Amino acid sequence: MRYTLLGLLLALFCPLARAQEAQTEDAFFIRKLYDQTLTNSSCSDWLQYLTRRIGGRLSGTPQAAAAVEYTYQMLDTLGLDTVWLQPVMVPHWERGEPEQVRIVNSLKMGSIDLNALSLGNSIGTGPRGLTAPVVEVRTLEEADSLGEQLRGKIVFFNTPMDPTELNTFNAYGKAAGARVYGASRASKYGAVGALVRSLTTRLDDIPHTGSTVYTEDALPIPALAISTLDAELLSQLLKEEPVRVYLRNTSRMLGEKLSYNVIGEIRGSVHPEEIILVGGHLDSWDVGTGAHDDGAGCVHAMEVLRQIKLAGYRPKRTIRCVLFMNEENGLRGGRAYWEWSDAGQEYHTAAIESDRGGFTPRGFTVDGHDEVFNAKFKKAIEWLPLLEPYGLSFRKGGSGADISGLKSQKGLLFGFEPDSQRYFDYHHTPIDGPDVVNRRELELGAAAMLSLVYLIDKYGLEVE
C-alpha cells in the first residue's frame, strides 16, 4: 500500500483517519482473500474425494475411519503448527438389509411398497418383520391425546415441513420433534412401530433418514421414515379404509468403536491462548455421501486454514480447524472436545461451525453466553460494513451442535448460514452427493468464513 505524505500525516495524527485507513486496508485484504479463494482453492477437490472416493461416513464404519485418515493427511500438507487426532468413542449403528415398508392388502390398492429408510439408531423388527394397523397423527401431542388407542399399532407421524417458513431450518425445527421422539412417545402407549414423514418441503419419492432418540421411559420400537409422496398416499388411504402395514428392517446398534476428531491449528503469534475455532462434522449418514451434510462444512473449515497460509497471513490468535466425529447420531465428538477443552482450561474466543450445506453464503447466526453476548455481538456488528458487500449479515440464532457446548467458555459462537432453500431437498438422503454442490457456492462459503476469522483475529472480541 502506498501512502501520500498527507495521508500519512492524517493516518498518524487523526484517529478517525486511522480508523478509515484500517477499514480500507481491511476491505482490500478481504477482497484479496476472496480473490484468492475463488481462483485457488482445494475445497472442491477435497469434497470430491470425501464423497466419491470415500462415500457415506457413518460413525464407526471403515468409511468414517478413511475420512479421518484422509483429512488428517490433507491438513498435514498445509504447513500448520500442529495436526492431531483426538480419540472419541462413538456408537456404531448399522442399517442392515434394505428396509421394507408395505401397505398390506388394501381393499383399493392391494399391496404397495413404500420408499423407506430406517431412522438412525433404530432397532430392527427382527427377520420376520411385523404387521400392524396404522394410526396417523400430526404431532407428539396428538399421540399423547390418543394414548392407549396406540397400543399394538404402528403410529404414523405425518408432520409436513411448513412451506411458508422462508428459512427452511425453521420449518425443520418445527417438524423434527416427531422424527426424534416419535418412536419413544408412541411406544409409551404400547405402539409396536413408528413411521415418520420425511423431512423435506418437496413432494417426491426419496426417503430422508436422521436420528431417532430412544428415551428411557419407553421400550425401543422400530422407527422408519417414508417419502413425502408415500406419506401423502398413506394418509389419503387412511381416510378411505383401515390400513395395515408390514415393516421389516434389520437395523441394530453394534456397540462402541474408537474414532477421532481431526484437528489442525495455526498457533497465534500474540494471543495464542485465544482460540478461534472453525469446524464441521466429518461423519455423515450411510445413505448418500454426505456432500452438503457435512462434507461441505469440513472442507470450508479446512480451506480457511489453507487460505490463511496461502495469504502469508500470520494470525495473532490461534486458528484451529476441528472436524468433529459423530454429530449425526450421538454428538460424541463435540462432547469429547468440550470436555477436553474445558479440562485444559482453554478459551475459545470464537467458534464458527458450518453445518448447513455448501450453498451461497447469506451470513452467520450468532450466539453466546448471556453474560457477554450483547457486548461481544455489538463488537462483531461493527464489522458488518466490511462483510455486507459479500452478501453477508449477522442474526441472533443457534450456532451449530458441535460447538454449542463451548458457550460456557463465554466466547462468541457463529453458525455459517448459506441460502437454505435447497438444503432439505438433499438432507440425509441418497442424493446428497457432490453433484448437487456448486463449486463457486462452496468456495464463497469458505471465503465468507475466512473473512470473519480474519476480522476476529485482527480485532479480537474481548471487551473490557
Which residues of the chain form contacts with its own copies (CB under 8 A)?
Answer: 34-35, 38-39, 163-164, 166, 168, 201-202, 360, 362, 390-391, 419, 421-422, 425, 438-441, 444
| Residue appearing with cell numbers 447420531 | 329
Q: Which is nearer to its own copies, 320 or 422 (CB)?
A: 422
Comparing CA positions, the residue from 174, 215, 179 lying closest to residue 194 is: 179
Q: Which is nearer to its own copies, 175 or 266 (CB)?
A: 175
Q: What separation in angstroms does the CA of 19 have from each of 9, 202, 243, 405?
A: 14, 49, 70, 35
Q: Which is nearer to its own copies, 36 or 106 (CB)?
A: 36
- Between CA 42 and CA 379 the distance in angstroms is 32
For residue 361, which amino acid is it?
Answer: P
For the bound state, the minimum distance from the C-beta of residue 310 to its own copies, rounded and expressed in Å, comes to 15
Q: What separation in angstroms does the CA of 175 have from each of 161, 162, 179, 417?
A: 6, 8, 8, 20
- Between CA 266 and CA 81 the distance in angstroms is 5
**Residues with active-site annotation:** 327
For the bound state, the minimum distance from the C-beta of residue 303 to its own copies, rounded and expressed in Å, comes to 15
Comparing CA positions, the residue from 319, 335, 318 lying closest to residue 401 is: 335
Going through 240-316 in order, the beta strands assigned E by DSSP cover 244-248, 252-266, 271-281
The DSSP annotation for 352-402 comes to EE--S-SS-EEEEEEEE-TTTHHHHHHHHHTTHHHHGGGT-EEEE----GG
Contacts 24+ apart (CB under 8 A), 44-48: 44/299, 44/437, 44/439, 44/442, 44/443, 46/71, 46/74, 46/298, 46/299, 46/302, 46/303, 47/291, 47/295, 47/296, 47/299, 47/358, 47/434, 47/437, 47/442, 48/434
Q: Give, as one character, the DSSP assignment of residue 98.
A: P
For the bound state, the minimum distance from the C-beta of residue 78 to its own copies, rounded and expressed in Å, comes to 22
Comparing CA positions, the residue from 231, 224, 223 lying closest to residue 201 is: 231
For the bound state, the minimum distance from the C-beta of residue 391 to its own copies, rounded and expressed in Å, comes to 7
Neighbours of 326 (CB within 10 A): 28
* The C-alpha cell that represents 413 in the structure block: 459462537
For the bound state, the minimum distance from the C-beta of residue 143 to its own copies, rounded and expressed in Å, comes to 26
Q: Which is nearer to its own copies, 47 or 101 (CB)?
A: 47
- What are the phi and psi torsion angles at 224 (to 5°)? -135, 150
- Between CA 350 and CA 241 the distance in angstroms is 56
For the bound state, the minimum distance from the C-beta of residue 418 to its own copies, rounded and expressed in Å, comes to 10
For the bound state, the minimum distance from the C-beta of residue 39 to its own copies, rounded and expressed in Å, comes to 6
Q: Which is nearer to its own copies, 346 or 425 (CB)?
A: 425
For the bound state, the minimum distance from the C-beta of residue 390 to its own copies, rounded and expressed in Å, comes to 7
Q: Which is nearer to its own copies, 87 or 391 (CB)?
A: 391
